[in-house]
Chain A
Amino acid sequence: MVKTLALTGSEASAEAWRQINPDVAPVYPITPTTEIISKFSQYHADGKVDTEMMLVECEHSAMSAAVGAAASSARTVTATDSQGLAYMWEVIPIASGLRLPIVMQIANRALSSPGNIHCDHGDSMACRDTSWIQIFSETAQEVYEHTLLATKLAEHKDVQLPAMVMQDGFITSGNLEKVKVYNDTDVRQFIGSYNPTYSMLDLQKPHSFGALNLHDSYFESKRQQEEAMRNAKKLYLQIGKDLSKITGNKYDYFEKYRLDDAQYVIICLNATGGTTKEVIDRLRAKKKKVGLLRIKLFRPFPYDEIANALKKARAIAVLDRSESYGAYPPVFGEINNALNLLKKKPKVQSYIFGIGGRYIFEKDIENVYSELMRNKFRKEPQYIGVR
């Protein structure tokens, strides 16, 4: 039985957790992700899950406890953002290095300083090279479904890597949306049980986790991680197909909106996709060939597929909600690399917008399209909405 509920992005995350019913949830509050934790705590208090909540004293301990629990064959989830993610950072690569499929919810928020609680993607972009699977989501519905997908993908024995599911802080995490929640039994059947190859609790075959690997062996273990990432890319589609049997939705690496015949394309992440789609519909009515490519799977990054999708484009604008100071912003860098695979490379312009939650309006996006159409390209990234 499919239920349609009015849920915020945070509640959709918590709903996914409720269905997954993880073994251990070490959590620490932080705005705006704290909503996920509060909602899940209510499920815990009402006995709807038999998860062991670990209400730890900091994010660093939250991720450390997650590492300990996941190594002991417990299905583990956690959630954080911004400063919390930054505080966790030491343990982030340890989780992936130990190949522990922890699934983390992130409601993206700007990093200090100056202090800010609103959305930008600086926090998760800082983790893009830590061997975590990163999935970005536009709507609460996507957050919910991506959490299920990420859990299954992370735990696959050819992957065994942790995953982050991103949503825009407040924009998605705080807004009520219509969310289809699927049948508990169907979802649980899809998720299955977690039986890792190696466990701390296996006394018969004791293993040492987190050994010292020096120059003679460290490189090889890291190379294996890369192999797991490549597997994750393939399995993302396969597991997505399994999930679509329940949901009926498609799980591609990216969403293509009126892209097939589009000449002017915007590329972005998360909730900005929704605003862009509105603009596209309006411009399409005026016979303007505009389209959108919204990336969902950011790590592993689907270079070939994106290059293929952008083959026919004349001009592309990449909208980044984060900065890479002194360099081109993260998404632009990746798109540029992907476009280099094409024989005839379309023109591409980098834009930076919405840092620290600065609003982006439809007129801003319209303006981007008009700049593309007017063939206005500059070497430096352009800023939208900065005063």
Chain B
Amino acid sequence: MDFKDYARQPQKLASGQKSCSGCGFPIIIRMAMSAIDRPFVVCQGTGCVSVTTTTWPFTSWKMPTIHSAFPNLASTAAGVETAVRVMKKKGKLKKDIKVVAFGGDGGTYDIGIQALSGAIERRHNILYICYDNQAYMNTGGQRSSATPYGAATATTPHGTLHHGKELFRKDLTYIVAAHDVAYVAQASIFDFADLTRKVKRAMEVDGFAFINILSPCVLFWKIPTSDAYKISELAVKTCFWPLYEVDHGKWILNFKPEHKMQIEAFLKPQGRFKQLLELRNRHIVDGLQQRVDRKWKELLFMCEKTKEKPEKKEVKKVKKKKIVKKPVKKGVKRKPEPKIKTSKTRSKFAKLKDKLKRKRR
């Protein structure tokens, strides 16, 4: 599918939903849904999505959707998926309906992690997309376990004694990967092709698929409404939000920046990290940089470890002509085969010639 083809598709999330201008999640949802070309239903966790898209009597969803509560997105989706399976088994449903769940970081990293873990363990055929805006934005920007070290939030504000959140964020993508899940990926709106490809792959796999997507929040990251894309790019290029996927246990790095940027590049444009730019808070930035470096190293290690090592060059098996062995008469010695000229025996001159050729290339 061409980039333009995506744009030409009819909108699956109607415009007019009430999210802030410049918000990350409508971009994520639109991008993700544009990559889905089969019937599906949507489950939403409580959060910005449910509140802004289904304010009665309006709904932005053009497919059936359900919102139940905050901690139970994964289990509600599991219920829907089970019903789909039963109805198909009983012949009451003809179509193959896929269940897609959209949840925020609060409902996925924190209060909903038990339901998520349970649903993964039961291998429900669900695509779960977490739009990670790194705090409880719907309730006014309180810290969550996805909030990065040093970020100022409503509950970890910048003060004279404390300077934002003093704990590191949870790496949920790793945690989900540790469940030995069918497919897990980390994506960003920065790379449209990568995101849509991941959604497509997630729809293909049989079993639970999880995609974690960074969702810039204009209100509480304190960024201009035009900058969601730019910040996403910086998050990827500083390796704060690396793009990778784990497909049936195989770790694949999808984007390796040519020059790994320092974490300050990601922090600077965001108001929530303003206090970190003061000289006295240098150690916080250093701490964050160390963490990012360590996680990046770990990721590279995992990718290398699970990389399918190219097996020793497979020698094409040429069907050997059946040689009918002549019965060797006892006592009669076979003739020794003639020696073939190998590289060792080649002249010094020929070797030099080869070297020159390589240099020219």
Contacts and interface: CB of A to CB of B under 8 A. Distances in A.
B56 A69 contact: no
B78 A68 contact: yes
A151 to B, nearest CB: 17
Contacts of B82: 24, 26, 52, 54, 65, 68-69, 74
B114 A52 contact: no
B41 interface: yes
A316 interface: no
Interface stretch (A140-148, A208-216, A320-328): A208-216
Interface string B326-361: 000000000000000000000000000000000000
A73 interface: yes
Interface string B119-135: 10110000000000000
Interface string B47-88: 000110011110101111111110110111111111111110
A52 B85 contact: yes
Contacts of B86: 23-24, 51-52, 69, 74
B56 A72 contact: no
A90 B46 CA distance: 13
A208 B50 CA distance: 10
B122 A211 contact: no
Interface residues of A, number: 45
A203 B80 contact: no
Interface stretch (B89-97, B188-196, B243-251): B89-97
Interface stretch (A55-63, A115-123, A184-192): A55-63
A227 to B, nearest CB: 18
Contacts of B114: 57-58, 60-61
Interface in A39-68: 50-52, 54-58, 60-62, 64-68
A209 B51 CA distance: 12
Interface in A332-363: none
Contacts of B84: 72, 201
A200 B64 contact: yes
B220 to A, nearest CB: 20
B118 to A, nearest CB: 3
A68 B77 contact: yes
B115 A217 contact: no
A94 interface: yes
B32 interface: no
Contacts of B92: 73
A71 interface: yes
B117 interface: yes
B51 A23 contact: no
Given A55-B122, A201-B41, A212-B51, A74 B83 contact: yes
Contacts of B93: 201
Given A72-B83, A208-B59, A212-B56, A60 B71 contact: yes
Contact of A69 (B50, B62, B79, B121): B79
A206 interface: yes
A368 to B, nearest CB: 43
A202 interface: yes
Contacts of A65: 75-76, 78-79, 82
Contact of A64 (B59, B87, B115): B115
Interface of B: 39, 41, 43, 50-51, 54-57, 59, 61-69, 71-72, 74-87, 89-90, 92-93, 95, 97, 114-115, 117-119, 121-122
11 contacts: A57-B118, A69-B79, A70-B79, A98-B68, A203-B41, A203-B97, A207-B64, A208-B67, A210-B50, A211-B56, A214-B55
Given A60-B114, A71-B83, 13 more contacts: A52-B89, A54-B82, A57-B121, A61-B75, A61-B78, A71-B66, A71-B79, A91-B69, A94-B68, A200-B66, A201-B87, A203-B97, A211-B55
